[in-house]
Structure 1
């Protein structure tokens, strides 16, 4: 039995499409024939380049500059997406941004607040706009990207915000499953591009089940799979793409 993704013609919104796995995610969904709304709060030159690369695959694509911590910008972005494409079916929330780890007593309050504003409050503002549209459509897919710090406690600030995304995802899954909306998390670790993106890379070791670095394409494949029709019974879960560095 061959299970098709059935994502052709679906509209996919990818937040922070300029960092971490954003471009790889965009290309993976474009290869499935999805329409794309690519968003970023900064790095607009890279956003423009990613948009051109996706357009080359022959799908419809639009872009938006959006700071998720700004409610009016989020509302405008989601509205633009629905007006242009007629639906909003999939949200890939790639909102995490990284910074050097700090001890709890060393973290400035403004830095703590900014990280929560963008990652936690920003995600709330995003789904406050998105979920009503998915309810109206009676179908939706949510994938939130979290990080390994949520589970290993390696950095107190990232642990807090990343676990917050896990909790938000579970809440969405529980409350809106009756509308054919699923919500899951992906937790990447040990991926090839992490050093370039300023994350906290973990080198493969003999203790890893798969002793190599993962690829962004493998992470993107997992996201596409979770959003496919064949994954309609998977919700509220966190899947770690980390080569067996950590098990849940």
Structure 2
């Protein structure tokens, strides 16, 4: 029996990059995965095909995480079709483009917060009743090393990711009594967008890897997947309110 057999997971921002790797990891472990993103396209279709090849079920839903009604719809459809919600992986986030401080606007900062901590909180609040009734739940939020500084022109993104970390610690404090763990990951992983940048920028990859103690940029499936699988399963039942830096040592230690 696979370790997540019978479990149902929701993964946001799942059609590519980190979210895709998380969905495939959980599906390979036996979980039914509800994969959501702002559009349903060929990438999402291929993801569902990979999930099916792994022997698991999937449901793909459109979700603009800045809209509460979309979030509520994803949770309601998941519960209606599968009867339970066991795992939530909050991955979606906008505001990934660097913006100089003097060019930051209320709109940019608000968008970062709406798609990050507010969306994560709304999803958490929506799945909480199901997890509480079951006496079991796993929530994995996504922060970033940028929230601790060291990355130029990411004030809007850093603020949002820092709020996600605080949200995690607060929920872990209150929800552990119900068998629900809430943890936060800080991934520094080779996504499609990062690969595109590195391929088009001579010397960028070598410069980046020089600052990583393990001397390579992590792969989403190989390096991130096992940590997500641990946090999503029974083995992490005594681990809550913790940050997990999946960055090859680049962050060194929490600030």
TM-score by length of 1: 0.91
Cα distance 1:7–1:198, how it changes in 2: closer, same or farther (>3 A)?
A: farther
Q: In the alignment, is residue 109 of structure 1 matched against residue 106 of structure 2?
A: yes
Matches within 5 A, 1:110-189: 110-154=107-151, 155-189=154-188
CA separation of 1:128 and 1:174: change in aligned 2, threshold 3 A: same
Query: Contact 1:44 / 1:65 at 8 angstroms: preserved in 2?
Result: no
Instruction: Give the deviation of 1:108 after TM superposition.
Output: 2.3
Q: Structure 2 CA distance, aligned partners of 1:9 and 1:82?
A: 14
C-alpha change, 1:192 and 1:39, in structure 2 (3 Å) is closer
- Shift in Å, 1:20: 2.5
Residue 211 of structure 1 aligns with which residue? 215
Structure 1 residues 32, 150: CA separation in 2 closer, same or farther (over 3 Å shift)? same
* 1:1-248 matched pairs, under 5 angstroms: 6-42=3-39, 44-154=41-151, 155-191=154-190, 193-196=192-195, 203-205=208-210, 207-217=211-221, 218-246=223-251, 247-248=253-254
Rounded to whole Å, the distance in 2 between the matches of 1:169 and 1:238 is: 9
Q: Residue 104 of structure 1: CA displacement?
A: 2.3
Stretches of structure 2 that go unaligned for 5 or more consecutive residues are 199-203
CA distance in 2, matches of 1:190, 1:59: 25
Q: In structure 1, what is the Cα distance between the partners aligned to 2:22 and 2:80?
A: 23
Q: Out of 191-200 and 25-34, give the one that drifted further.
A: 191-200
Aligned length: 244
Within 1, Cα distance between the matches of 2:62 and 2:158? 27
CA distance in structure 2 between the partners assigned to 1:225 and 1:139 by the alignment: 15
Contact 2:3–2:30 (CA under 8 A) maintained in structure 1: no
Q: Is the 1:5–1:228 Cα contact (8 Å) retained in structure 2?
A: no
Higher percent of residues as helix: 2
Q: Which runs of 5+ in 1 are unaligned?
A: none
Q: Stretches of 4+ moved more than 6 A in 1?
A: 197-202
Instruction: Give 1:208 shift.
Output: 3.0
Aligned-pair distance for 1:146? Answer: 1.2
Rounded to whole Å, the distance in 2 between the matches of 1:197 and 1:127 is: 33
1:114-141 CA-to-partner distances (Å, cap 9, x unmatched) read: 1211112111211111111111111000
> For each residue in 1:172-211, what CA deviation from the matched residue of structure 2 results, as whole angstroms up to 9, or x when unmatched?
1111000010011111115364514779987111x53211
Write the deviation string for residues 105-164 of structure 1: whole angstroms up to 9, x where unpaired. 211221221121111211121111111111111100000111110112522111100011
